[in-house]
Amino acid sequence: MRNLNIILEYDGSRYKGWQKQEDNDLTVQGKIQSVLSKMAGENIEVSGCERTDVGVHAENYMANFHTNCDLSIHAMLDYLYEFLPDDIAVKSMVEASERFHVAYNIKSITYVYKINNNELRNVFNRKYVYHSEGKLNLEVMRIAAESLVGTHDFQGFATLTDNAKSTIRTINYINITEKNGMIEIEINGNHFLWNMVRIVIASLLDIGEGKLEVEDIETLLNEKTDIKYSLMAKSKGLSLRNVEY
């Protein structure tokens, strides 16, 4: 049986996240599995590197699947390009070792959050960029971001579930860049808790707008209680950029 690794990109605007749901087939995983199963003439299950939330996009999402299909990789890519929805595209496909799984041995995952900080929203990128018309203080946002870098207990920056074994995570870096009023917040870590990236971004936005102080971020990191800061950044500005193994 072949094990095939794919890299794909998708516009998450109309999807209920990555993971297939029993009562809703409007998921990225569900759409890909459906097309692959028809192509191969067998039931295909696709494994993903990360569970992206409702409305979150991906630039280089890693997935893999096993199949007995003997079509060439080129023929498979052509089939996927023709029959997948226009908002999902498989960028590449390679043969992987039998035991390879995209969710294992991940060294780091990179997300990027895009913000339009100009006075007027851009109608052409409105589905992929969060519009914040109030001028953000990037200098203080970068100071707050530095306090989040490293290994910490991010319990205060996540939506916790009963099966969460540990809330210790490592953020390797947070880069905040700006050009012509367009801001990108790039965050790289070993793994992320549920909603952790969106809560971190929301916290940094509140810092930039003067609604929170840097000390508030440090307090959330140090307190070992249930979530205090539940506001999440809107999903449309968030994309999974890259996965490293």
Per-residue CA distances from 170 to 48, 153, 154, 196, 213 (Å):
21, 9, 9, 12, 22
Q: State the Cα torsion 88-90-96-102 to the nearest 10°.
A: -30
pLDDT of residue 34: 95
In sequence order, the β-bridge partners of residue 2 are 67
Dihedrals phi, psi of 18, to nearest 5 degrees: -75, -50
pLDDT of residue 227: 44
3-state DSSP helix/strand/coil % of the chain, to nearest 5: 25, 30, 40
Per-residue CA distances from 15 to 85, 145, 146, 193, 204 (Å):
11, 30, 33, 21, 26
pTM of the full structure:
0.92
In 139-189, which ranges are E strands?
150-153, 168-179, 182-189
Give catalytic residues, as residue numbers. 53
Q: Residue 40: which of 9, 99, 80 has the closest Cα?
A: 80
Amino acid letter, residue 240? L
For tokens 């007027």, what's the residue?
Answer: 120
What domains lie within the chain, and their CATH numbers?
2-95 (3.30.70.580), 108-244 (3.30.70.660)
DSSP-derived secondary structure letter, 136: P
Q: Residue 238: which of 159, 176, 185, 189 has the closest Cα?
A: 185
Q: Is the dihedral of CA 150, 155, 158, 161 positive or negative?
A: positive
pLDDT along the chain (245 residues), means of 10: 96 93 83 96 95 95 96 97 97 94 94 96 93 94 96 87 80 97 97 93 95 86 59 95 96
pLDDT of residue 224: 55
> Cβ contacts of residue 103 below 8 Å, gap of 6+?
47, 48, 49, 50
Which residue intervals of the chain are DSSP H helices?
28-40, 73-83, 138-148, 196-208, 214-222
Dihedrals phi, psi of 213, to nearest 5 degrees: -105, 160
For tokens 């035991």, what's the residue?
Answer: 99
Q: State the Cα torsion 216-231-156-134 to the nearest 10°.
A: -30
Q: Is the dihedral of CA 194, 195, 201, 206 positive or negative?
A: negative
